[in-house]
Amino acid sequence: MRRTPFHLVEFSPWPFLGSLGIFCIPIGFVMYTRYNSLYILITGLVLTSLVAYAWWRDIVRESTYQGHHTSYVVKGLKIGIALFIVSEVCFFFSFFWAYFHSSLAPAIETGGSWPPYGIMPLDAFSIPLLNTGVLLLSGVSVTWAHHAIEEGKYKSAISGLMLTVLLGVYFLFLQFGEYQDTSFSMADSVYGSTFFVATGFHGLHVLVGATFLFICLLRLWKFHFSKSHHVGFLAAAWYWHFVDVVWLFLYVSIYWWGS
């Protein structure tokens, strides 16, 4: 067998089972909202969580213990996460397009004004401003952890990464309280739908990013990362910075300008 610098992956059931679990989540959500049935949604969440654990376990084995992640593989992984973030940019661009399309030329159905008649927007200088500070601080702490890893200061890296995860959880707590205080819902005109879809999907990305960083924290605790080889953490840090930047656009456009 000819040796190559690239990692030729083995046959795995995780891609199929993972796609099946992810497919069950939106179907289960529709079943819950329409028929108050949670079975498919819970099945999808449990299956996706189990597959994620098993798949990450295999990747950790390949990279940390078996040494399959050569410099060529690491380069490919970096390109892959960069392209994934580009696709996420396009994903959020569609939300901003819908928001500005509706706000710059308000239709007569919304009263010809923005925010639409009867909508009381949230105060941009209360909880949203606090959330902005929380995410900006989390961006600083994850950068602190990154530089600490590159310098071999693992205790400092653990402290910075733990602070980042806690700030992400705190952001979600504040956003949940904010949703409870809103005087409008997703069904209240195009403002409600664009507001909750854009900020809700951002909150989902914060949850994913915080989970990603928590896994990196566990791996850092077990000394899986070194000064020169920490591509898993690098991918999580890039993703977290992307989440921070998206929130800045959301805050300026929806909370501040849109109100």
138 closest CA partner among 252, 214, 77, 87: 214
Task: Count up the domains in the chain and report the number.
Answer: 1
Q: Report residue 238: phi and psi, to 5°.
A: -60, -45
- Does the structure show a pLDDT above 80 at 36? yes
| Residue range 191-216, pLDDT digits in tens | 889 999 999 999 999 999 999 999 99
Task: Please state the rounded mean pLDDT for residues 30-46.
Answer: 92
**Residue 221 sits in a domain of what CATH number?**
1.20.120.80
Q: Does the residue 120 lie in any domain?
A: yes
Structural domain containing residue 189: 99-257
Q: Does the residue 30 lie in any domain?
A: no
Q: Does the residue 7 lie in any domain?
A: no
Q: Does the residue 218 lie in any domain?
A: yes
Q: Does the residue 235 lie in any domain?
A: yes
Q: Does the residue 75 lie in any domain?
A: no
- Does the structure show a pLDDT above 60 at 2? no
123 closest CA partner among 250, 259, 248, 253: 259
Cα dihedral sign for 94, 95, 100, 103? positive
- What's the confidence (pLDDT) of residue 150? 92
Q: Does the residue 34 lie in any domain?
A: no
**Residue with structure tokens 């952890």?**
145
| Residue range 114-157, pLDDT digits in tens | 888 888 888 889 999 999 999 999 999 999 999 999 998 999 99
Structure tokens that stand for 5 in this block: 């610098």
Q: Does the residue 76 lie in any domain?
A: no
